[in-house]
Chain A
Amino acid sequence: MAFDYEKYLRPGKLPHIWCPGCGHGIILKGLLRAIDTCELDKDNTAIVSGIGCASRLPGYVDFNTLHTAHGRAAAFATGIKMAKPEMNVLVVGGDGDGVAIGGNHFIHACRRNIDMTYVICNNFIYGMTGGQFSPCTPTGDRASTTPYGNPDPVFDISKLAIGAGATFVARTTSFHATQIDKLIAEGIRHKGMAVIEVLDDCPTTYGRRNKFRSVVDMMKRFKELAVPVAKAATMAKEDLEGKIVTGILHREERPEYCEQYAEVVKRAQNL
């Protein structure tokens, strides 16, 4: 039977604002399948975002939804989770929102290992503002603010998350639609900070400036470059150059932040 996306969508708030060919719709559907798999209660789930194309996602879904200021989603989400740990807290946003202006909140949410699932839609660009380069724009690529090619080195979001202390980190692409929900569901089930990086296609402001003539070209590229993590483990470092390692990149058990704070409460109350 076909999946009933409508039970999670807000009637009247569609169509979405995303451009034709944008990968955010694929991620939205993956997110909803993951929520369904994990049987999250709509009333007890908050979905938080910052600013940007991907950050418009909460407006379309029928949960407690919060569209915050640019880059601040993880910090708002931290307040929600801390004040009401029984809520399921998910964050959705783009690369610029998450690791440029929101970089500090992102790494510290990872460090705390607070129990939330952060889906980061990495389309290598600031889409909503019209295609300025982000920390994830490949070096040498064109953006509206790098007319002679991007001089900046690239942030590897997944490595950043692992380094900062996230206890579940996974990566996939918008081509691998069926993997998105599985990874997000694993992230939701994981107790602690889960980061799911989805490399995402933006045909309008990234693709057309960087020789991807069509969405299909971008998708093909994701397909060609993707290497499952198990296979990557058997490959030489030089063969992995430029490839996208997909799957669960990191998983560990470490005390979760709200549980740690519950211990503080016990000590304060001598329980």
Chain B
Amino acid sequence: MAKKIALLQGNEACAYGALYAGCSFFGGYPITPSTEVAEIMAKELPKTDGKFIQMEDEIGAMASVLGASLTGAKALTASSGPGISLKQELIGYACIAEIPCVIVNVMRGGPSTGMPTGPSQSDIMQARWGTHGDHAAIAVAPASCQEIFTETVRAFNLAETYRMPVQILLDEINGHMRERIELPEPGDLEVVSRQEPPVSPDQYLPFDPSFGDVPPLAAFGSGYRYHVTGLNKAADGFPTTKAKLVDAEERRQLRKVEANRNDIEKNEEYLIDDAEIVIVAIGTISRSARHAVNELREQGVKAGLFRPITLWPFPERRIAELADQTKTIIVPEMNLGQMILEVERVTKGSCALHGIGRVDGEPISPSQIIDKVKEVC
């Protein structure tokens, strides 16, 4: 049977991806350029007995998402730079209390109100280090509308699998761009459901490490009564300041991502095998980079593209390998040098490294990348 085809905006594809993944709760606060996600969810969720609520502020939106998730719902919020900054308090709460949820960030420039309708990739570091304290982070950065759909489904799967917040980074251009999408039928894409506790309520501890690094999360109202707090806690969920317990919990929560990089990481490599110049780019800018690679190849320059689809955890092993086999890495990004810091950290000077930064609300064009390649090689 022919696939159902639709012409969808990136933000719309994100909302439909969430519905495909089984999202049944959206709590949000309107902010440009993310509003279409909320608008689609407001329209679609009640049709499937899901719930949409527009909260009084960004923090409230994030709080409602966490409350809903604790009842067992797959929960989503969508925002943009300044709103994500406000949500950070409770993104940290989601980390320590290990509450699955998905947060869409359609990035806009900053700091502060910045350029509300302009594209940007300036929350790369905010997605990793926005909240306080040590914690793991998962963020995906899709490039096309089709991929926004599938990565949104994957973001929910990762959130449920690892019991933590997962961020989806769009960049206004792909959030508002319209593309042809093949809509997957039910069953085409894997949809992961939350693991039920394998023990009876009287034996259940919400953070029991004997279950492994990701203890199952029982739903409020399902007969499993337990305590959740934002304080450092022991396996039973109650606060503790015992050094050994706090340390073990903190390390377990980092480990659940670190030890599962193979499952979480996803990259695209294009003409990389013999490349002497590798362009590392995400989201919309990776599309300019792909175009640049094609043109450079036509001109006899051995260029290739490495595109992290999972941005966090950062694909450090693969980039380190690429740095060993290539002469030059170029990092174009719509900010003044965030992702290049990570590339620099993992390549440790083993190849030449150049960045292209742009913060004027214009995308980085293929010709800008080609010019840079010619300038440095």
Which residues of A are at the interface with B, using a C-beta cutoff of 8 A?
10, 13, 42-44, 46, 48, 58-59, 62-69, 72, 75-84, 86-87, 104-105, 107-108, 261, 264-265, 267-269
Contacts of B231 in A (CB 8 A): 67
B310 at the interface (CB under 8 A from A): no
Q: A75-B63, A82-B67, A107-B56 are in contact. List 8 more A-B contacts (CB 8 A).
A: A64-B220, A66-B228, A76-B67, A78-B60, A79-B27, A82-B53, A83-B25, A84-B72
Contacts of A67 in B (CB 8 A): 227-231
Once bound together, how far apart are the Cα atoms of A10 and B225, in whole Å?
11
Q: B67, B90, B223, B227: which contacts A78 (Cβ < 8 A)?
A: B67
Given contacts A104-B57, A268-B46, whether A75 and B71 have CB atoms under 8 Å apart is no
Measured CB to CB, the nearest residue on chain A to B227 is: A65
Measured CB to CB, the closest approach of chain B to A12, in angstroms, equals 9
Once bound together, how far apart are the Cα atoms of A44 and B72, in whole Å?
14
Q: B25, B49, B51, B63: which contacts A76 (Cβ < 8 A)?
A: B63
Contacts of B239 in A (CB 8 A): 59
Once bound together, how far apart are the Cα atoms of A91 and B242, in whole Å?
28
Find out whether the CB atom of A79 lies under 8 angstroms from the CB atom of B46.
Answer: no
Which of chain B's residues 75-109 have a Cβ closer than 8 Å to chain A? Answer: 75, 89-90, 93
Find out whether the CB atom of B90 lies under 8 angstroms from the CB atom of A69.
Answer: yes
Find out whether the CB atom of A80 lies under 8 angstroms from the CB atom of B68.
Answer: yes
Which residues of B are at the interface with A, using a C-beta cutoff of 8 A?
24-25, 27, 43, 46-47, 49, 51, 53, 55-57, 59-61, 63-73, 75, 89-90, 93, 220-223, 225-231, 238-239
Contacts of A78 in B (CB 8 A): 53, 55, 60, 63-64, 67
Find out whether the CB atom of A58 lies under 8 angstroms from the CB atom of B227.
Answer: yes
Once bound together, how far apart are the Cα atoms of A76 and B67, in whole Å?
5
Contacts of B51 in A (CB 8 A): 82-83, 261
Contacts of A261 in B (CB 8 A): 46, 51, 53
Contacts of B68 in A (CB 8 A): 79-80, 82-83
Contacts of A264 in B (CB 8 A): 46
Measured CB to CB, the closest approach of chain B to A79, in angstroms, equals 3
Find out whether the CB atom of A66 lies under 8 angstroms from the CB atom of B70.
Answer: yes
Residue with the greatest number of chain B CB neighbours at <10 A, chosen from A68, A267, A269? A68
Once bound together, how far apart are the Cα atoms of A108 and B54, in whole Å?
11
Measured CB to CB, the closest approach of chain A to B94, in angstroms, equals 11
Find out whether the CB atom of A43 lies under 8 angstroms from the CB atom of B67.
Answer: no
Residue with the greatest number of chain A CB neighbours at <10 A, chosen from B56, B60, B63? B63
The 9 closest A-B pairs by CB, nearest first: A79-B67, A79-B64, A75-B63, A83-B68, A268-B46, A75-B60, A108-B56, A67-B229, A76-B67
Find out whether the CB atom of B225 lies under 8 angstroms from the CB atom of A43.
Answer: yes
Once bound together, how far apart are the Cα atoms of A117 and B93, in whole Å?
24
Q: A59, A79, A105, A268: which contacts B66 (Cβ < 8 A)?
A: A79
Measured CB to CB, the closest approach of chain B to A161, in angstroms, equals 15
Given contacts A46-B220, A82-B68, A269-B46, whether A68 and B227 have CB atoms under 8 Å apart is no
Measured CB to CB, the closest approach of chain A to B236, in angstroms, equals 9
Once bound together, how far apart are the Cα atoms of A58 and B239, in whole Å?
12
Measured CB to CB, the nearest residue on chain A to B47 is: A268
Find out whether the CB atom of A87 lies under 8 angstroms from the CB atom of B220.
Answer: yes
